[in-house]
Amino acid sequence: MHSQIVVLGGGPGGYAAAFLAADEGAEVTLVEAESRLGGTCLLRGCIPSKALLHVARVISEVDELRADWGVEYSEPTFDVDKIRARKEKVISTLSGGLGQLAKRRKVRVIQARGVFENSTTLRLEGDHDSIPEDRKLTFDQCVLATGSVPAMPGSF
């Protein structure tokens, strides 16, 4: 399989680059190891934590009503499974939207881990059915948008 432009990584840098290149008329393939587009922020970081923080903020606002306005409510109870399901729905909705944007722009998405064999070929690792049979993806240009991992200092 060959593509004009390959984008390695489906987080905000990767999908933005892929969408822009497609909008400019390039044939684009986006390679992402995760099952959904969005990267760490959408799938495990910023968005999930904000969805959970929203619940805490609502409870805090109710507590302020109690103190400031004399409104009485019973103590809240938490259904952790429902809270998690709501968080997952938010993630799925946003990630699904990215998938639809990729489809609309004709960006081919391959769920795999890409390993460089040379300067114009990726070997695709994984078992998803989007991976071509020969497990190779050649390209004219490649955008690296693989994100980063924070450096953790050793003990001292």
Tens of pLDDT, residue by residue over 84-135, are 999 999 999 999 999 999 999 999 999 999 999 999 999 999 999 999 999 9
Instruction: Calculate helix-pair angle for 80-104, 12-23, nearest 10 degrees.
Output: 30
pLDDT at residue 124 in the model: 98
**For the chain, how are helix, strand and coil distributed in percent, rounded to 5?**
40, 25, 35
> Which residue's structure tokens are 């240009």?
141
pTM above 0.75, yes or no: yes
Q: What span, in angstroms and rounded, lies between the C-alpha atoms of 18 and 7?
A: 6
pLDDT at residue 75 in the model: 84
Share of the chain above pLDDT 90, in %: 66
pLDDT at residue 68 in the model: 80
| HSE-up (13 A, CA, CB side) for residue 146 | 9
Q: What span, in angstroms and rounded, lies between the C-alpha atoms of 28 and 101?
A: 13
Domains and CATH numbers, the chain: 2-144 (3.50.50.60)
Share the mean pLDDT of the chain: 92
